[in-house]
Structure formats: structure tokens, C-alpha cells
Structure 1
């Protein structure tokens, strides 16, 4: 009877829609009442428990997004004077994003005043030291608890519910009383509802008659793309710099409103691990203050006190460094918070058998996050005055540092890329940075700038954020780097956790200049939602409208025009009109007579929407370069774009690329499961993109042959990163380059290492006797004869661009790419194709970050963008990822060319 009911329940869960997820699928792993979460606690009866609202105890079941909402709404209804619920946005799939504020009644009633006073404390230019001390004397401290930014890191959302309940319902608890008296606790219970629901749906659909603790079981092995990422498959913990996703945008806006003094991001890690909390590992970002790092140690010590009491294992400092400024635990440090990551070993379901034989349950992981959250809130309460004083002093020091800096002011002229500069300026405003736009031309530090240039003075409260984002090179500690080189020499893995470069002006490929003084010019403030004004000169043109190619305003003009059915041409080469106006290669030509009678109105509307700069001409006469009717001027088509989806693509690369094309380019993409490409009729599509991934099994020789045939018939195949490695293999034979092994040199004379001698006696597994006379000789003897270059965590590298190929029309002579991994390719031979972009020489290759010397030497002059014509179509290979994290905006024009200009240059039967 029991088995039958359980199996029926499992079947129902597999079939029903989202609200049915509260149905129990199998016996619970642990019965975890609130009293078991915090032994000895006494709770008020008027505050509803999870079980009273949802029908199961905390930690007994993984809570869905809708049930999480129901529970927090129940808490807000039960104690409206002590908890307030706010909506801060919606996910891509339309799910509500919420946070709650919990505090004593009189504090909560004045939450807007609290926000205003924190803003006052955050600006010493308006708030004197004496005024700040008065604010510090009365203001509560504040804690912001971020949960489940990775959707398959499941425990923290349920821990958030337990934390809120405990703070509201506890009676006669001096710790909770202290927290409520001195602190506002903000809880964001679920940062990534789309990813979480992807995980929950998968998990409960795979559970059988009982939950399995075996790591080999299907419920512990998620299918592609897993629940970690959001709808567009972004790792949102890396989206804090680019703010591409609506979930991130809403969260940042809210944090800037309250500026909480402690921010904690609660994660999960491998189930065999215990628990990690601060202090973080080396290296730390040099623009963080020593006080912030010291305050994190205060937090960690108090956490340790409670973990010792509960008997929880933990560790600190060994991993999860404080260098990259684009995480949920690092971004808040640059407005003055002390921020931290917490990681709990994950059950990735309701129970999990650890390698040491111990059983880890979902309730265990919920409890650990809950205890850490309460301990952190207590630290905020105990150190209320210190945290607020340190917060104010951070702003004072930031302004002073900016005033004394040799790079005090940063200027974006905008003349090289108006759209890119505008996007970067408004993005910085979205980050809470003060940005101004000059109302007239001006000079600064001996250089002239036009009206409309953007100016950012680092002598402002957000000055340290400005410095870490705009400074070209942010260095890691020398002792840390020395240790990494030592480890590499010993063939040990390095300890660099993430990318070592993130300069947004470089990644946007826009000109940025600095000045050691404040810029004095009449200007107006730039807001995050400031539009880029489009312009049409001579809107009643008789012959054509011309759009200079080279920025994303022109790119979005093209896609809007094509989607509206407008006929658009594009020049392969630069040209000069009869009135001596110069237009770069790739410039768009919209001929009046080739389009409908309302073309003038459509052009003006699209220019206003996109920010494009358009000039109408009354004559087609060209004095230099191709004429409008030249064969060097192609008719742009509206290509159907397909993309490989599902295993074996990198879900992040697939998601990032689809996002950039759909949301930045405003062009639809059809996702096709990779395995279907092996035999699918692709004749409907003009462009196919293979995101990073090893397709050798999914496509095999049959799939490669299918793609070859499609390309020969006029298709454009674009391979990204690892997909280019697959395309270059002999089995695929899609592009005529080879992945390189590491280049070996002898340490003494610099000559290439000799080929190893073949052992003629190897057949009997014996070798001739030999002598090893030094440690260096030992290392030489044990070296692998054939190995790949060392892995690179992530640097920014300079790329030189062929200015005489139609594929790079409008692209600057030099762009910047993110370089990760260890792929280096041979140049393509002229008999097969063309290297249209390649890495700069060794001396000038590194734009920002830390790169192993051998990689820098070997990467020089190797291809970045490869073009290989095949039949009526072509293969275009990127050797690195041009859409990484959605923030490599400086490569967007190149990517648009490889989609739209390539499709126009392919010659299928029409």
C-alpha cells in the first residue's frame, strides 16, 4: 500500500505543472522541525511555520519558487509591523523577485528614512564628520543575505525561510533580541528562480520509490544545461559588472538604495566538502580596504563560535579569493560594505552519501546556512557602531584617494564609438557612479575633447569602484604570483580562481583617457536610463540614407531594418561621397527608390530607437571607393540563424551567445539539439553557430559530412572557442588549422628541445641504465613529451585586425579579446583561407591581467578569427569566446559581420 501510493505520487509530480510541486514524491530524508534547527528555541504561535503554510517541515523538501513566495507572504501577513515584503523585478521567465526587510517595529516603520540616512552617510561631501557621528549613534547596522544565485544550489532558499521565521518567532532569545534591536536584516531568498525551478522539476521527476543517496543515481546527475544558470544560461554570480540580466539589475538597484553594511552570498559546493566562510583566500583586490578585510575576519570568528557549538566542520582562506570585483560577494565592497561568500557542501537533492560514508541530508545543509546567517546578523548587531563608522570612513578615504590619484579623472570622448561609450557611461551610472557629460568642447591635461564626452571623477564615494573598473591593469600581490609560478614549475595546479582582467573600456573597445586633475566644464549628470539620441541629417533625402558602420547603434539599425523588410546594402570598402564625407567599410546604404514610399519615416523611427547616426544624400556620386551599385557593395539578407543547443555545448557559451544575438543584436535564434545536426536538413538556415564544445561524439563523421555539404551549398558555419578545435580535427575536417602543443625550449641555450629517443628495448618494459646528476635533469626527464600549453584563467589580449577584408569591415585595427584555457592554433594557409584577425606580437599582446610567459610567447601572431571559403559557403572560426559573460562588447561588430555580412557574401542558390 505504501509503495503504491509513493509511486503514484512520483508519477503525478512528473506530469503536473509548477504548483503541484508541493506534492510529496517520496519519504522525507529528515524530519527537521524548527526546534531541531536551533535546539532549545521557543517560538511564538502567531508566526506560521513552513509546515503550517506548505505542509512540510523546513529542510524536509526543496521549496519551489511559488511556495517560497507563499511562505514569505504568510510571514508578512502575520507580522506586518516587523517584516515588509518588496518586489524588485521579474526573471526572464516572468517569476517574481522579492526581498524582505526584518527589524523591530519602529525601525521598519521608518525604512525609507533609514535609506535616506544611509545615503547621507555614504557621501562625506554632504555630510560632515559631526553629522555622520549623529547618524551613527542612532542608525541600525544592516545585513543583506543573498540566496540561491545558482539555481541548483538549493539549500539557501529554505535557509532564508528558516532565518526569517527564527527572527520573527523566537521568544526569550537574547541573540535574536539583540539582532532585532540593532540591525535591519534584508533577505533576498531566491536570486535565480528560473534555474531553481529547472533543477526542482528535474529532481522530483527522477525520484523513484525512495530518494537515492548514491552520487551515480540520476537524481544526482543533472542533464544539460543544469539548474545553475538562469533562463539565458548566465552564471549570474559573474554578471555584477556587465548587469546584462534583469535579476542582476533589480538587485543592484536595491542594494544601492539601502547600502547594507554586511552582505553575504550563500552558495553550495561539492558534497564531500564541509562549509566555507570568511576570511577569503589570497589575493585580495588592492582597491579593497584593510578594514573591510578585517571586518570579514570578525564575521568569520563569530561564525566559527557557533559552528563549534553545533559541531559543524568548516574551513577558511583556502579558496574563493577576493580579487575579481564582479561577484555578489565582492561588488558590494566597492560601495563600502564588508561582503563574503559562504559555501556549504551540497546534498544536490534530499540526501547524499559522502565519500567518507557519512549521510548528508538537505536538512543538514539548510541548518548550516541558517546558523551562519544568524551568526552573521549577530556580528552586525554586536559591531553596529564600528560597521557604520567604517562605512563612513570608507567614503572619506575613497574621495581622498581619488583627489590624490595620478589618474583622477577618466574621459570617454565617444568619437571612436558613440554607442559603446554611451553604453559604458550609462552602465557606470547604473552602478551608482557619478558620470557627467560635457555640454561643450573642453581641454584636460593638454588634450582636447568634444562636447558630449563623458567624464568620471574618481574623487567620489564610488571612486574605488571606478579605479578597479577603469584602470587598465589591477595587479595581484607579488608573493601570491611568486607562489603560483613556483607551483607551475612543480607541475601543480595554480590557485588563480577566476579571470585576472576586467577593464571595461578595454572590453568595450572604446577610447578612454585619464587626467590627474578634476575636469572643469559645463556638464549634466548621466542617468542609467539616459537614451542614446539618434539623428537623421537631411531626412527627406532623394537618393539614399547612409549609416556609418562600426558601432552597435548601426548594428541595431541594420537588424531593425531587415526585420521591417527594408532593403539595405553594405559597402565592402570605405568610400567618400561627392560632398567629401567619408564612410568606413561596412557602411549601410538604404536606397529610396528600392524601398516603399514611407522609407523616410521608417528611417527616422529606427534611428530614434537605435541611436544610429544617419545622413540622407541626394546624389549617389562617389569620389573614392565603391559606388552604390558596385560589386563591392552587397545586398544584406535577413538570415535564419540556428545554434547548436544541448550537450555537448558549453551551456554558458551557448546562453551568452544567444543572449548577445537576441538581446543586443535584436535578432532571433533557433536552437537545435546538437545530435540532430548530424542528419538534419539545414537548408532553411543561412547561418549555423556551434558554441564552445567537443562535438566529436554528438556529430561524428556523419554530422561533419552533413555540415560540410550544407556549407558547400552556401551555409555559413561559425565555430566558437572549443568548437573550433573540433572543426580542426581530421575527423571533422571543417577548417584547415591545427591545435598546437606547448612549445618546448631547452632551459640553457634556448634551442628547441630534441625529439625523445625511442627505446628499442621497450618491448620487455626495461630501459638502459642512466645517471641523473641534477634536479633540473630530473625535471627534464619526467616532462611530458607532448602536452598542451598551460591553462590560462583569463586575461585580456590585444588582437590585430585585417583592415582589407570584407569580414572585418568597420572593425577597428585593434580589438581586445578575453583569452582563457590553453587553445592555440596554427595560422591557416592562404591556399585554404585567411587569418583575418590574430594576436599581437609578444611585447604588445597582453592588454591586462596575468599571463604565463610561455603562453604569451606562443600566442603571439596566432589566429583569433579564421575565414575558410568552401563551395558557395564558408566556415568562420573564433579561437576564443567572443561572447564571454555577455560583456565583450568590443567584439560585437565583428560578430555581427560574421553573421550578417558573411550571409550576404555566401552564394547559395536563391
Structure 2
């Protein structure tokens, strides 16, 4: 007995000494946390150091950013749990039905995500403190808990912010709000390399960081997920429970446990006298956040918001006269992070049992969603997204289906075939299927933090039906790849035009110095019929000896089917020598960036051209926009933004002159305000008499709710498309647009109204204020104003918004390549 006691004492002594040998972040880095910002590589170094020193911490690299910074998660638990980590992971997954196995996990799995917005930088400092506290003072919590800690989701944005701040800060730091160190320049550190908001990208996975994170998230499916953020410098700390509206698939348990977590945090904040608030501002509806996406995957998903953001720096004087320091901010995040682990550990058994219940999807109203496979490229694109989320799909067995028809917004029947795809809700991720595919999200409150409509059939351009009975289906078959062969006798090669992949193929041809043409009219030749926009690659336009080899190689790479024809004499329509068969030149494109420009909108355009079209653009600075030589470019794109000091009268006159010479000017979203109601341009804002009010007699407490009547917060509207105009080539006569604001513009009296809202237009899905919606009928969506040999393209709604509204992207490609591309040379 005495020997056992001595061994126990020795073990505890060694453990105590061992824990003391672990350096704190401040000791390891050589400065106190909060006294400076830590660059990302040093954060990684600290996590590597702890992992190398302690065997109960595991570090896994799960990806890399566009700027080649590594992405890591750290697993922190007891030694026994770390030794059985893979078994715990599989046991947890088996509770969801994703894999078979022992569905009796007893460990709580808590995932803490830091710094998704790069200039909300205190949370990564807190991540290092949290790691240290867990492996030293809070080890008891780890006996039944696995903590997965991602110290920095957005390293590119973080280092952009930190590097800027270190360059401009005073020594000592200046707390005056007017100081330069509190005035972050465009584009700021919030977004990633391509200036995307990664906290809006969880469901759409358009960015490399998101795709790599979702891959490892799916392997774990945690019970708790916390997304650490910062807000304005004068705000108290925000934590759960969230605000209304909650999506209807969120369970009573998920809502209740958020409240329990909030009360646990409050206990610690009350002790310190720290201010906080709950149940306001941050709702749980839009499915692509770091709190909602995990929630729809069965977790308790939460946002924690600390005052600070990019303005705060190392310290700032708030409007209340208090100094908010980085040290304070990091400690607040440390407190809520540890409190989350504590309450999760105390409720590990309940977390697991309720998590398992979440994956019973028998109560869901719609049992199947069927999407018509009328465009193989669109179908493959959607399948790729579903594969990313590990959502299963099958092929329909054919026949007729009753249900809600998306195109008509009515109950009815749809004939389906074995090529059409079916997504059932009786699968592990059935609730996420409902969230992504449901025609309309149930909205219990019009005051929301983000867009209120996102249904994938509308976003991807599918005819679809939602059925309350399960639709017969069988295992999905992979589509066959296209492989073309050389035909030296071909007069021309023909390729379709109705998807973004066709535009990417076109871009590749142009960069290889192959000149294609497109037909403005439908035609038939050698037994096949072709629609407007069809690409025609003539041997006569491409006289080099390696023409066939280059063309076939590019077509096979991009999986484009080419039809070789022996003549240019068509069966119907126009012959290939017609004026209506126009050459497409290699377009030189400039995109406005910098002051006045929405960094997010610019980033969407930049990302679209570089990663999707894979076609070069030149980013030009708005500060020099009035002075540079426009004649070097064929296309100029002005992103969403506010350009009062950029698009001056003289600059607009210069742009108009350049357009008349044959240029294509594309204005998106808020940029249209610089052209509207001007004598120089045809665009006019749409007004309604009902919006004019005299005195504002609304009680102060009701003003916020009344103001939303003038807003449209991401609502879907059906538009009419002129498919005979090059801007509308590749589209059907109906297009569902995501409207993001209450701004509306009249039909063009001088120009082409290519996509527009008709007289009886109503919103299909999402919130639209009672006053704003009155301006939508008989208004413009996409139009062309002809000026001389060139065009101004007005895009009222942003077709590249967050890069997830896939069906709008071909409008941009059409604007760039099919309008005026043969006239400027």
C-alpha cells in the first residue's frame, strides 16, 4: 500500500513539474499576449511547440491558403482519448448514420474556430491562451472531451491586417480614434486573398479555405462549434443564445443548450463585471455561416462577438471614454472558449444523445427534391457541391411526380426521366438538404442579419419539384466524358454555348490565339440544330499548321464536345460567312478596385476571372481611374460600390467617349447610381409616389422594424429574358435573380432591356419590404445601352454575389465576349 501511495505521489509530482515545463504563449513568444499582434507563422510555431512537447496534443495540417499559408487544427484531450482518437471519431460519425459502427460515443466533441475575419484579430491571440489553459489548468475537462481548435481560419487576411498595423502603429500605441492605426485602408484584413467573406462561404465552398475546412469538418461532425468574431468598438460582448429568426429545423434542445451555455458564460462575466448581451442581432437562418452550417449538421453552432474589430488595434478609447485593449479582448474570448469546454464536458452524455436524435429526419415535410437534368454542366456542378458536403443523390426512375414546382411556385405535376437527379431527405444530412433545397425558408421575423433566400434550384438554374412523398430512384451514374479527334477535312468545328464551362473553354481558345466565332441566330447543319451563341471555329480563321491539334487538346481538357462539319452551308439559319456569325477577339479587360469599390464585389469579379473563367484581367486603382489610358482595354468593369469622388463628370465623359469608340462598360449593383438620372446616359431610377412621406411620426422603438419595409434582403424574383440578344444567349426565357437591395431602375427607353421584371412580378422566396417590392414590377434587371460602336451594360442585381448564384455567371461572360468583341479592333 505504501509503495502504491509513493508511486501516486511521484506520478502527480512528475505531472506537476511536466506541466510547468510547458511555456505559456507569452514565455514562448517573448512578449505578453496582447502587447502586440502575433503573425500567423509564429502562432503555428507555438502550436507545433506544444504538440512536440505534449503527447496529449495532436496537430494536423488540413490545407493551405491561396498565399500558401498552412491551415491547421489541433486536437486537445486526455492521453487516453488522443490514443483512441480515430475510434472516437468513428463512434461519433456512426451516431449520425454516415458510417456504420458503434453508435455509443460518450465523449463531447467541441470545435473552436478563430479569426475567420482577418482583422478581428484578438481571437487568434486567445486561441494560444486557450490551448495553454487546457493543457495546464483545465485538464480534468479533457477526460471526456475532445477539443478541436483551429487557431486561424483566415491567415491571409490576418497577416494583411497585422502587417499593416505593425507598419503604421505608434510607440506606444495611440488610443485616439483619429490615429492612423485605427483607420484600416482598403480592402482591409477582413476577407481572404480573393476578398471573400469566409464566414458567408460555409455552404457554398467557393474558396479553397472553405473546401479544405469542410472536408475535415465532415470527418468529425462535432457537437459544439464556436465561431469567434469581433464587432464595433463600443459594443459589449455578445454570446448565445442567438436572436430570432431561428430556422425551423433547429431543435428545441439546440436552442435550450445555447441558453445553458450563455448562462455559464454570464457567470464568469458577472464575476468580472464585464458587459455582455444575448438574443439580439445575430440570428440563425442563413445556412452558410460558421454558426448556422454546424447547427444544420447537428451541432450547437454559436457566434461569439467581442468589441474591437480592425479599428481597435492594441488599444483604443471608446465613445464611453474607456480604453479597450487587445489584452482585454483576448481574455474575454479566452473566458468564453474555456466556459464552452467546461459546460460541454459537464454535459457530454446529453450532448451525444441529443446529437444522435438530430439525424432522425422522418418529420421533414418534403421527402425528395427532383432536378431536371437539361444541362449536363449544371448537373455536374451541383453534384460536385453535394459531394463536398457528402450529401447523397440518385437518378430518378422516371414517370410523373406531384409536388411544389419551383418555376411556377404552385403545386402541380412534373414529368421526370432517368437522367434527372433526386436528393432525398431520409439520409444523415437530410436537414441540411431541406435548408439548401427548400423553396422558401420559413421566416418568423423580417429583421435578419443576412439574405433570406438561397434555394439551390434557383441559384443553379434548374427546373425542379419538391415532393412530399419519396420519389423512386436508383444509384447515380457518372456522365461520360467527351473525347474529340482531329478531322483535317473539317471546314469548321462547332461547340455549344449554354454554361460557364463553355465560357471557360472560349477563354482558353482565345489565350491559345485560336479565333472562334459565334452565331447570333439559330441554325441547323448536317442533321444537328444549334442555338444562338453557338461557337463556330473556322479553319479559315486559324491558318496555322497545328490548328487542329491545339483545338482538340483544349477541347478535351475542358471536356467540350466538338462537332466537325465539312461545309459552311447550313440547312437552315445563316451560313458561316454571314454577318450574323461574328468573330470573337481576345478581350483586354480592366476591373476597377480601391477607394469607392466594394472589396467584396471586386473580389467576386477577380475570383471569377482567375479561378473560373481562367482568363486574365488587369486590376486598376480607382485613384488613377480618371487619368489612365482607356484605349488599351476592350472591357471595363465597375463593381458594386459608391463612386461619388471617383466617377466624376469628367471621368464619365471620358468613359462615354471610350464606349462610343467600341468599348464595353459593365456597371454592377451600386455602381449604377453614378449613371442613373444623368443627361449623358439613358438609365433612370424607378420611383413610386407611395415612398414619399412628410413628417416621420413613427415611434422611435418601431423605426427599425418600419425601415425594413424599404429593404429587400436577398429575395428571389422571376425575370423575363430576351434570349435573342447576345447578353441572354444560353439562357431560357425565365431567369430567377437574387435581388439584394431595394434599388430599382426603369426600363431603358434607349437601349435593350435584356432581362427585366414584368408587371405582375412578385418575390418568389425571401423577404421583400412592402414598399421596396412596389418598385420591382416593370423594372430593369440587365440591359444594354448602345453608345456609338460600344455598349454600357447595366447589371442591377449582382450575378457574381458570393459566387454561389451559379446561374447568373454566364451573363457576365456574354457581356465580355459576345458584345462588341469584333468591333473594337
Superposition TM-score, scaled by structure 2 size? 0.92
Q: 1:152-195 CA distances to partner (integer Å, 9 max, x unpaired)?
A: 0011001000000111122xxxxx23311110001101011111
CA contact (8 A) 1:569 1:635 kept: yes
Question: How far is the alpha carbon of 1:206 from its aligned partner?
Answer: 1.1
Q: Is 2:383 the counterpart of 1:425?
A: yes
Q: 1:381-429 CA distances to partner (integer Å, 9 max, x unpaired)?
A: 0110100001111112x2x135xx3x312222321x2212211121012
Match of 2:115 among 119, 124, 148: 148
CA contact (8 A) 1:839 1:845 kept: no
Q: Is 2:462 the counterpart of 1:498?
A: no
Q: 1:577-612 CA distances to partner (integer Å, 9 max, x unpaired)?
A: 241x22111010112343344444434433333233
Alignment of 1:492-891 (within 5 A): 495-524=447-476, 533-536=481-484, 542-579=490-527, 581-595=528-542, 596-730=544-678, 735-744=681-690, 790-829=710-749, 832-842=750-760, 844-891=761-808
SS in 2 for 1:678: coil
C-alpha change, 1:126 and 1:894, in structure 2 (3 Å) is: same
C-alpha change, 1:42 and 1:475, in structure 2 (3 Å) is: farther
Question: How far is the alpha carbon of 1:499 from its aligned partner?
Answer: 0.5
Q: Distance in 2 between matches of 1:117 and 1:601?
A: 53
SS in 2 for 1:824: coil
SS in 2 for 1:212: coil
CA contact (8 A) 1:538 1:615 kept: no
The aligned counterpart of 1:413 is 372
CA contact (8 A) 1:532 1:610 kept: no
Q: Distance in 2 between matches of 1:682 and 1:721?
A: 22
The aligned counterpart of 2:13 is none
Question: How far is the alpha carbon of 1:633 from its aligned partner?
Answer: 0.9
CA contact (8 A) 1:554 1:613 kept: no
The aligned counterpart of 2:325 is 361
CA contact (8 A) 1:538 1:617 kept: no
Q: Distance in 2 between matches of 1:636 and 1:209?
A: 57
Q: Is 2:211 the counterpart of 1:249?
A: yes
Q: Is 2:355 the counterpart of 1:391?
A: yes
Q: Distance in 1 between matches of 2:124 and 2:215?
A: 21
C-alpha change, 1:569 and 1:522, in structure 2 (3 Å) is: same
Alignment of 1:3-402 (within 5 A): 44-79=19-54, 81-123=55-97, 126=100, 132=103, 135-136=104-105, 139-170=106-137, 176-346=138-308, 348-396=312-360, 398=361, 400-402=362-364
SS in 2 for 1:52: helix
Q: 1:62-96 CA distances to partner (integer Å, 9 max, x unpaired)?
A: 111111111111111111x1111111111111111
The aligned counterpart of 1:762 is none
Give the total of aligned pairs.
791
Question: How far is the alpha carbon of 1:568 from its aligned partner?
Answer: 0.4
CA contact (8 A) 2:93 2:99 kept: no
Match of 1:459 among 421, 426, 438: 426
Q: Distance in 2 between matches of 1:387 and 1:540?
A: 67
Q: Distance in 2 between matches of 1:541 and 1:388?
A: 68
C-alpha change, 1:42 and 1:340, in structure 2 (3 Å) is: farther
SS in 1 for 2:316: strand
The aligned counterpart of 1:763 is none
Q: Distance in 1 between matches of 2:494 and 2:485?
A: 10
CA contact (8 A) 2:686 2:775 kept: no
CA contact (8 A) 1:419 1:553 kept: yes
C-alpha change, 1:312 and 1:539, in structure 2 (3 Å) is: farther
Q: 1:100-127 CA distances to partner (integer Å, 9 max, x unpaired)?
A: 0001112112222222212211108946
C-alpha change, 1:723 and 1:299, in structure 2 (3 Å) is: same
C-alpha change, 1:856 and 1:182, in structure 2 (3 Å) is: same
Question: How far is the alpha carbon of 1:695 from its aligned partner?
Answer: 1.9
The aligned counterpart of 1:32 is none
CA contact (8 A) 1:644 1:671 kept: yes
Q: 1:336-379 CA distances to partner (integer Å, 9 max, x unpaired)?
A: 11110000111621001111111111000000000100000011
Superposition TM-score, scaled by structure 1 size? 0.83
Question: How far is the alpha carbon of 1:865 from its aligned partner?
Answer: 1.1
Q: Distance in 2 between matches of 1:197 and 1:384?
A: 36
The aligned counterpart of 2:7 is none
- Unaligned 5+ residue runs, structure 1? 1-40, 171-175, 482-494, 746-752, 757-774
Q: Distance in 1 between matches of 2:313 and 2:431?
A: 41
SS in 1 for 2:174: coil
Q: Distance in 1 between matches of 2:288 and 2:477?
A: 25
SS in 2 for 1:631: coil
C-alpha change, 1:693 and 1:521, in structure 2 (3 Å) is: closer
Question: How far is the alpha carbon of 1:736 from its aligned partner?
Answer: 1.1
SS in 2 for 1:426: helix
Question: How far is the alpha carbon of 1:655 from its aligned partner?
Answer: 0.6
The aligned counterpart of 2:437 is 470
Segment of structure 1 superposing worse, 885-894 or 448-457:
448-457
The aligned counterpart of 1:3 is none
What is the CA RMSD across the aligned residues, in angstroms?
2.5
Question: How far is the alpha carbon of 1:324 from its aligned partner?
Answer: 0.9
Q: Distance in 2 between matches of 1:299 and 1:153?
A: 23
C-alpha change, 1:892 and 1:263, in structure 2 (3 Å) is: same
Question: How far is the alpha carbon of 1:570 from its aligned partner?
Answer: 0.3
Question: How far is the alpha carbon of 1:525 from its aligned partner?
Answer: 7.2
Q: Distance in 1 between matches of 2:575 and 2:435?
A: 47
- Unaligned 5+ residue runs, structure 2? 1-15, 403-412
Q: Distance in 2 between matches of 1:524 and 1:84?
A: 38
Question: How far is the alpha carbon of 1:856 from its aligned partner?
Answer: 2.1
Q: 1:667-719 CA distances to partner (integer Å, 9 max, x unpaired)?
A: 11110001212021121110000011222212312211221221122211100
Question: How far is the alpha carbon of 1:821 from its aligned partner?
Answer: 2.2
CA contact (8 A) 1:206 1:219 kept: yes
SS in 1 for 2:690: coil
SS in 2 for 1:84: strand
CA contact (8 A) 2:236 2:277 kept: yes
Question: How far is the alpha carbon of 1:742 from its aligned partner?
Answer: 4.3
Question: How far is the alpha carbon of 1:536 from its aligned partner?
Answer: 4.0
CA contact (8 A) 1:414 1:422 kept: no
The aligned counterpart of 1:27 is none
The aligned counterpart of 1:749 is none
SS in 1 for 2:630: coil
SS in 1 for 2:41: helix
The aligned counterpart of 1:759 is none
